[in-house]
């Protein structure tokens, strides 16, 4: 086994990374520098300093990346309308920003390698490692799950107990979770069987189930400038504050609970429950605003680009020329996506309640069923004749040749 002097560890204080610190020291005899990226985990960061040092790290960096996370990763993905099989990419776009910071600290500390706690079955190992390679392809990467003798989360708990490592979980509540400003994911235990209905009252942390939401709706008005949300109910908010407030409002109304069996990058299907209350509201509002601000051809072409962007983000290919080019295209489409969207939040539902924009392409006079001088309905006859010409010509030729017309 190759030896290392100093290793930078992506550290969350969860089960995986808690046991990795002593494991690294036992197997490599190296100094371990823990790095906790603050991307909105909240209280999960409490007590990390003491825990990291107590379990063997020489130091812990806690890096506040919230502003950069929102402005450089969440907003571009929102503007693109990128969704992977309905999933709003909460874990996916948090990994590149963390990987970038890990490399920066590894350079600062003169580390020989970077270590992460991702399993060999998941997507995150790819996302972390592609991000690291983008900024330093020569740094070694240690992935314990691919080389150690531990085979399950129960084995991890056994290891932690043997090494007196304190844990916040038990074997009965041992869901695999990932939390940040944008979302919270739940995997494992009873969720591994798609036949099981999720025990929402047991697992939900960012909000309540629709059944427990208030009987009265909550109205929100979100103001966008060039595709970016800037005001909530008339109050100007920075990105971090905007998401936090919408998480609160969405959570209490049962918004943004998503139960899915998704196709992982590594080839298998996996089942998870995602909580994305604020993000679900923002995606909905942004889509509503685009319906009046984007023309038909741009809308339809952007839908294809959105799917490709979703694949790129999901697959950890953020730091690539294609991602940069797609973001440039999306930014061009967003120049007129400015306006206000009013929504009604009610028991898990988001109901449209009005949309306005100074750049609207909706002309009431043209679209009206009433009498108008703007649109000559007789023009449609010639249009239909030209549009249907290929169909009519084929039918005539089939008839002339005595061929039976079948569809």
Active-site residue 311, yes or no?
no
The pLDDT tens digits of the residues spanning 350-388 come to 999 999 999 999 998 888 877 777 788 999 999 999 999
Res. 14: pLDDT tops 70? yes
**Interacting residues of 95 by C-beta distance below 8 A, sequence separation 6+:** 124, 127, 128, 131, 316
Give ∠ CA 113-179-126 in degrees, rounded to 5: 40
Q: Is 199 helix (H, G, I), strand (E, B) or coil?
A: coil
Choose among 231, 245, 252, 307: nearest CA to 279. 245
The pLDDT tens digits of the residues spanning 118-177 come to 999 999 999 999 999 999 999 999 999 999 999 888 899 999 989 988 877 666 667 889
Active-site residue 95, yes or no?
yes
Q: Is 87 annotated as a binding residue?
A: yes
Exposed e or buried b for every residue in 305-321, given b needs 16+ CB within 10 A? Answer: bbeebbebbbbbbbbee
Radius of gyration from C-alpha coordinates of the chain: 26
Q: Is 16 annotated as a binding residue?
A: yes
User: Which one from 112, 124, 153, 223 is the annotated catalytic residue?
Assistant: 124
Superfamily, domain 6-66+90-174: HUPs (3.40.50.620)
pTM: 0.94
Structure tokens at 170: 């038990």
Q: Is 368 annotated as a binding residue?
A: no
Active-site residue 193, yes or no?
no
Q: Where on the phi/psi map is residue 339: left (φ > 0), alpha (ψ -120 to 50), or beta?
A: left
Contact (CB, 8 A) for 101 and 39: no
Structure tokens at 309: 């962007």
Contact (CB, 8 A) for 243 and 279: yes
CATH number belonging to domain 183-294+337-356: 3.90.1260.10
Q: Where are the domains positioned within the chain?
A: 6-66+90-174, 183-294+337-356
Query: How many other CB atoms sit within 10 Å of the CB of residue 76?
Result: 23
Active-site residue 176, yes or no?
yes
Cα distance between residue 87 and residue 198, in whole Å: 17
Exposed e or buried b for every residue in 125-162, given b needs 16+ CB within 10 A? Answer: bbbbbbbbbbbeeebeebbbbeeeebeebeebbebbee
Q: Is 119 annotated as a binding residue?
A: yes
So what's the pLDDT on residue 168?
Answer: 75
H or E, element range at 355: strand 349-356
User: Which one from 101, 112, 153, 176 is the annotated catalytic residue?
Assistant: 176
The pLDDT tens digits of the residues spanning 38-51 come to 999 999 999 999 99
């Amino acid at each position: 086994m190759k030896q290392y002097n100093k290793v930078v560890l992506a550290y969350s204080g969860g089960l995986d990374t808690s046991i990795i610190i002593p494991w690294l020291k036992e197997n490599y005899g190296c100094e371990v520098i823990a790095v906790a990226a603050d991307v909105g985990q909240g209280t999960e960061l409490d007590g990390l300093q003491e825990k990291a040092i107590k379990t063997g790290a020489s130091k812990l960096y806690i890096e506040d990346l919230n502003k950069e996370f929102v402005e450089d990763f969440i907003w571009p993905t929102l503007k693109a309308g990128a969704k992977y099989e309905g999933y709003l990419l909460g874990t996916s776009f948090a990994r590149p920003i963390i990987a970038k910071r890990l490399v920066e600290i590894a350079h600062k500390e003169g580390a020989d390698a970077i270590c992460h706690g991702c399993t060999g079955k998941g997507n995150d190992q790819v996302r972390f490692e592609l991000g690291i390679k983008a900024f330093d392809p020569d740094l070694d990467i240690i992935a314990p799950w691919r080389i150690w003798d531990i085979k399950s989360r129960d084995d991890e708990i056994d290891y932690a107990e043997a090494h007196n490592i304190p844990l916040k979980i038990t074997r009965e509540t041992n869901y695999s979770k990932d939390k940040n400003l944008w979302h919270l994911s739940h995997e494992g235990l009873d969720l591994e069987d798609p036949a099981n209905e999720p025990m929402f009252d047991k697992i939900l942390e960012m909000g309540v189930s629709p059944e427990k939401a208030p009987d009265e709706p909550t109205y929100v008005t979100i103001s966008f400038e060039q595709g970016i949300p800037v005001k909530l109910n008339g109050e100007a908010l920075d990105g971090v504050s905007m998401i936090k407030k919408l998480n609160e409002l969405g959570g209490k109304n049962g918004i943004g609970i998503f139960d899915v069996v998704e196709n992982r990058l590594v080839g298998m299907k996996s089942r998870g429950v995602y909580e994305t209350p604020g993000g679900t509201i923002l995606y909905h509002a942004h889509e509503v605003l685009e319906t009046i601000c984007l023309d038909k051809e741009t809308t339809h072409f952007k839908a294809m680009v959105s799917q490709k962007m979703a694949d790129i983000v999901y697959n950890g290919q953020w730091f690539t020329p294609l991602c940069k080019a797609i973001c440039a295209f999306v930014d061009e489409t967003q120049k007129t996506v400015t306006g206000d969207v009013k929504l009604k939040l009610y028991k898990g539902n988001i109901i449209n309640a009005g949309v306005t924009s100074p750049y609207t392409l909706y002309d009431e006079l043209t679209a009206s069923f009433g009498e108008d001088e703007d649109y000559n309905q007789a023009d449609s006859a010639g249009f239909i004749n030209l549009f249907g010409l290929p169909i009519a010509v084929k039918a005539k030729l089939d008839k002339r040749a005595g061929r039976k017309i079948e569809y």
